[in-house]
Every structure is written in C-alpha cells, then in structure tokens.
Amino acid sequence: MPTKKAKQKKQNLTGDALVKEVCRRIRVARSYWDAHNNRACRGEREKAIALYNTLTPAQKEKIPQQLRIWLRYRSEKYFGDHRTPPGGNS
C-alpha cells in the first residue's frame, strides 16, 4: 500500500512529469482493456481522464496521438453516459 508521501507526490505533479503520468495511466488502462478486465480499466481510465483534463493544450499535444485517440474512443463508446453503469441489477 502506498504511503501518504507517495500519494501526495503524485498529486503534486507538474509539467513533463504530469504528461508522463497521464501516458502511463492510459497505457495501464489499455493493458487492462486488452486483458478484458473492465472494472480495473474503468478505474484507470477515470484517473487518466482526471489528470488529462488538468493539462494545458500544449501539454496535451505532448501525449502521443495513439493514446489520445484510445482514451477518447473508449471514453465515448464504452464508458459514456449512455451506457449502463457497472454493478448490474441487485
């Protein structure tokens, strides 16, 4: 389990470190998607989007286009508001 310092360090990312963390999160989400682990993919994708939305337009351009397209495509098609939320009927 990460320590409090590790959690605080990730929250205070700026510049290239923030761009690198966004790329890492998208790649992790993609690996979960490829492994058909949808719950983990959803969590990582939400974290990636939250960080991605904090980037400036110049920083967004530093993220490889392939990762940006994957994030946008998966977000809209598979995890959008029009989809049934996870949890099913209990």
Closest CA to 79 of 35, 47, 53, 55: 47
pTM strictly above 0.85:
no
Name the more confident of 23 and 9: 23
Q: Which of 3-12, 45-54, 74-83 has the highest mean pLDDT?
A: 45-54
Rounded distance between C-alpha atoms, residue 86 and residue 54, angstroms: 26
pLDDT for 23 equals 95
pLDDT for 62 equals 94
Rounded distance between C-alpha atoms, residue 27 and residue 31, angstroms: 6
For the segment 22-75, what is each residue's pLDDT rounded down to a tens digit?
999 999 999 999 999 888 988 999 999 999 999 999 999 999 999 998 988 776
Q: What is the CA radius of gyration of the chain?
A: 14
Residue 10 has pLDDT above 60, yes or no: no
